[in-house]
Amino acid sequence: MRGVSDRTSTTAPLAATLAALRGPGVQPKALDARALAALAANPGCARRALLDAAGVDKTSVAQALGAPTRFGQSRFAFTRGNAFEARVKADGCAELLRLLGADDAALPDLSAPGPEGRLARTRLALKEAAAAGGWTLLDHPLLALDVAGAPTLLEPDAIAVRPDGSATVIEVKSFPILDGSADAVKVGAAARQAACYVLALEALATPPRHEVLLVCPRDFSNVPTARTVDVRKQLSVTRRQLARLTRIEEIAAALPDGTTFDVTGERLADSVAAVPATYAPECLDSCELAYHCREKSRADGAVQSLGRSLRGELGTLTTIERILSAATGPAGDDDPAATALRRAAALRAEALQEAGCR
């Protein structure tokens, strides 16, 4: 899977602001469906929303801040994935057509100058495929999706348009399907990425199917096999989360003058701190700045650093200091969370006392 990010169609002032945030001469980093799914999973994080919209390389920022990322796809896994996708699409996508159950399919040329040209070519190909009444297979088409007011271009592995005019998103992954099942975590991640593509397809004339085709190696071989994955749940969640994202213009307007995320600048740490972040332990698996944000969250004693579910249960108690104070404080505090904490502290003290007596 590859991703392309293009923001030339944003308003001129916003485009200029985003370019200034990257730094002079810095090209925007591509925002792919993997990053978009992670962004949608944490819509309250203005920091990630702004940096992704500006195309800032968060890996370089994290390294410059002294908190490098510790996740990502290895070079070996990347090479293996490309080799497997090449096999799936060899000989005119013969294996892919077999998995789709199609005897033959049109394979339109989607090449065009620049992202806007490729986007227009994909739209035209989808329109022609829907009217053709046969199978059409689009290899690495380009789709557009609005994210918090900033248009983002996404590139799925493939899209199959069926004789009835409906479109199926195809995700090619290198993790195996063993005895008919695959790792649930990896399948879930693939489903969330595919949901972004389905959302982008919904705005076009070709109606997308809610079942995507996941193509993986079978068992321990390199032979492609496939299973359908229903992404209606992921679609609902992603649609709702993207709608909650603060518009990029609002975040950028609140920044101090001179804010830039240029890793060669002297004010990088101040610029990062100027944008509010919403850290949670889940960020460690999906965001390059997670370790930097975790350090700051722990230093502030934020309850969010212990997990979103705990944060939700504690209501107005937003710091660890406030929690400890409520647990050991007087009974006059009628906050429900404080009452529950005092009760839990009393039960713990009673249990420890009984254990000590024995």
Q: pLDDT tens digits, the chain, 358 residues: what are they?
A: 444 444 434 446 777 888 889 888 888 887 788 888 888 888 889 999 899 888 899 999 999 999 988 766 667 778 888 899 999 999 999 999 999 999 999 999 999 998 899 999 999 999 999 999 999 999 999 998 888 777 788 999 999 999 999 999 999 999 999 988 899 989 998 999 999 999 999 988 789 999 999 999 999 888 999 999 999 999 999 998 888 877 888 898 899 988 999 998 888 999 999 999 988 888 888 899 999 999 998 888 888 777 777 777 777 777 888 887 877 777 656 777 777 888 888 888 888 888 775 5
Buried b (16+ CB within 10 A) or exposed e, 40-79: bbbbbbbbbbbbbbbbbbbebbbebbebebeeeeeeeeee
- Token digits for 81? 């994935």
**The CA-based dihedral angle spanning residues 36, 40, 42, 45, taken in that order and rounded to the nearest 10 degrees:** 70
- From the list 251, 345, 354, the residue with the least C-alpha distance to 21 is 251
Residue keyed to tokens 């009835």: 164
Phi, psi of 294, rounded to the nearest 5 degrees:
-65, -40
As a whole number of angstroms, the distance between CA 122 and CA 140 comes to: 9
Q: What is the pTM of this model?
A: 0.74
Within 8 A by CB and 6+ apart from 254, the residues are none
- 204 contacts 218 by C-beta, under 8 angstroms: no
**Strands, sheet with 211-217, edge to edge from the N-terminal-most edge strand:** 136-139, 158-161, 167-172, 211-217, 224-230
Indicate if the alpha-carbon torsion angle 81, 86, 87, 89 is positive or negative. positive
